[in-house]
């Protein structure tokens, strides 16, 4: 089964995002007709211990995920940039996410733009709390899984 890993610092919202994505999937799959159920892609979501934790399980998970979500919550994202290149080198397709986006007055747009400029990649703003951006993230994950 393909694995989608969720990476980020401690308290960056990894677990909350995992549950938000799970809810999204349940809602989506419930709308599929019985005939189509066999066509549903099953993936395993893998929650990890913070990348800022010594000897984190993230190291091991990084080796086995097809798609990696890298969560960023503020403008000190040096560590995350290092993980993004490490995950890419290991063959994972990395989706960069501004998590807890509801906590920003602009929904995370300015931080996303800063990260986009440095990483050269599109960044998604997501809130597990309000659900903003969760459906878009789910779509992006599915696109990456099909690559
Ligand atoms: N406002 C807001 N708070 C959030 C959001 N997601 C998570 N939180 C809060 O942020 C804190 C950390 O969330 P977790 O999902 O436990 O974060 P984590 O990265 O799994 O944390 P660890 O497993 O301890 O590293 C909790 O108090 C959550 O309620 C969000 O989208 N918006
Ligand atoms: Mg957690």
Q: Per-residue pLDDT for 109 more than 90?
A: yes
Cα–Cα distance for residue pair 142/2, rounded to 1 Å: 11
Residue for token pair 């909350």: 16
How many CA within 13 A on the CB side of residue 2?
16
Cα(140)–Cα(3) distance, integer angstroms: 14
Q: Residue 122 and residue 84: Cα distance in Å, rounded?
A: 13
Q: pLDDT tens digits for 115-147?
A: 999 999 899 999 999 999 999 999 999 899 988
Whole-Å CA distances, 1 to 45, 60, 122: 10, 17, 27
What is the reported pTM? Answer: 0.91
What's the pLDDT tens digit per position in 5-56? 999 999 999 999 999 988 776 655 554 444 334 445 578 889 999 999 988 8
> Nearest residue CA, atom 28 of ligand 1?
13
For residue 117, what are the domain limits? Answer: 2-146
Of residues 8 and 2, more confidence is placed in 8
Number of domains in the chain: 1
Ligand 1 atom showing the smallest separation from residue 12 Cα = 19
Q: Which protein residue has the closest C-alpha to ligand 1 atom 9?
A: 13
Mean pLDDT over residues 105-121, rounded? Answer: 96
Gap between the Cα atoms of 10 and 19, Å rounded? 16
Tell me which DSSP letter residue 39 carries: G
Nearest CA to ligand 1 atom 11: 11
Q: What is the pLDDT of residues 47-90, one digit of tens each?
A: 999 999 988 888 888 999 999 999 999 999 999 999 999 999 99
Q: What pLDDT does residue 25 have?
A: 64
| Pairing relationship of beta strands 93-98 and 2-7 according to DSSP bridges | unpaired
Residues 5 and 92: beta-carbon distance below 8 Å: yes
Provide the pLDDT for residue 57.
82
With tokens 């602009």, the residue in question is 106
Crossing angle of helices 14-30/134-146, nearest 10°? Answer: 80
Q: For the chain, what percent of residues have pLDDT higher than 90? A: 69
CATH no. for residue 138?
Answer: 3.40.50.300
């Amino acid at each position: 089964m393909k694995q989608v890993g969720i990476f980020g610092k401690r308290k960056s919202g990894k677990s909350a995002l995992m549950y938000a994505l799970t809810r999204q999937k349940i809602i989506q799959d419930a709308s599929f007709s019985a005939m189509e159920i066999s066509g549903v892609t099953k993936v395993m979501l893998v929650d990890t211990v913070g990348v800022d934790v010594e000897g984190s399980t993230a190291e091991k998970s990084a080796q086995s995920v097809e798609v990696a979500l890298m969560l960023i919550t503020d403008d000190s994202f040096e560590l995350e940039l290092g993980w993004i290149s490490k995950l890419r080198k290991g063959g994972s397709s990395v989706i960069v996410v501004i998590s807890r986006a509801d906590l920003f007055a602009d929904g995370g747009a300015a931080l996303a733009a800063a990260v986009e400029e440095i990483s050269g990649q599109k960044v998604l703003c997501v809130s597990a709390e309000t659900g903003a951006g969760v459906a878009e993230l789910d779509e992006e994950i599915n696109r990456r899984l099909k690559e």
